[in-house]
Structure 1
């Protein structure tokens, strides 16, 4: 079985190690590579059934980073390196600290992620912070947001969907957690002040907007 391609989450974690480790001594025996290899094996992004025997081994992880670093510094792309490495590196060029915050948030919530399950389609894989933090965000929105008394109108566009879709019962508005993705804590329960009530359209736009908007700034998605 061939080794499956790296995901966005894995590339974020790996590039964070590359940025902040001592590159002169980074090899398959260094503790940074060993720790990264162990972490990638613990995270449930890739199903066990899809993993080969040497899945994300120390040698494999180190090889990806070494080849990436060598080719990227020359402005080239190594065919043996996952394209996601180059995409993430270009996206966060000059923003290493921001990448580090994302990697740190993934690590901080690692115990939660170990119990998470993903379907055949990795929901949120195109989320800038990766599928893991997207999954955590949605879990917290559902877990804590369902206890929130929702407004009658979307707090962004002010539409009242219950009035628009009168024949159809139910509350069409959703609760959006405004806490920045990199500050999420899986063990914390979020209060009403951390949420806003939005329609599905505005909710989708808020999830795509960067930088992540606070509760006070959420209305800025409208022109």
Structure 2
């Protein structure tokens, strides 16, 4: 499974928002599911530079990372952009209406909100179009689990990652999938796998509870009080 930019964002957030490449690699390897690339450091460096406007290999789109001492200095210290909501940074790397990243810096807490406010109406329209709120991957309905507390709860997942949507490209309701929170996070944790791939994985899993085979025609017999036969 390839290491994604989302894994790097999570790793940097967990170590305070900045760190040397070696430290970032160690944290990403801890977070990202196996198997890892043969050279995870090279893979992570490439992903960072693809999302760093100051790097020659910048691919456009979301500008998430910057070199603390300047790319040309080659000191390998990177950090998350100080203002991810600045022009050009409005697309959240994580799908959904909003996502929070927290990291401690000394005694203060840095709280960065990555929002896609322009997609709020789309998300609301998508949920309003649903005839049921079962997860498209696992089939679970939160109302069946939590009763009225879970009634109508579902998350909207972009089948095409938001970071890969070209500027000006329209997102349709058919481009979204209804997922429970667990399946949504599992998809993001595993390199943004497809909903279909997760469904197939779940279907291949053995039943949670094993049932002993019963002889054909078996039926329950009433209990007999002690001393009677």
Q: Specify which structure has the bigger relative contact order, considering alpha-carbon pairs within 8 angstroms and separated by 6 or more residues.
A: 1
Q: TM-score, normalised by structure 2?
A: 0.43
Higher strand share: 2
Higher helix share: 1
Q: TM-score, normalised by structure 1?
A: 0.44
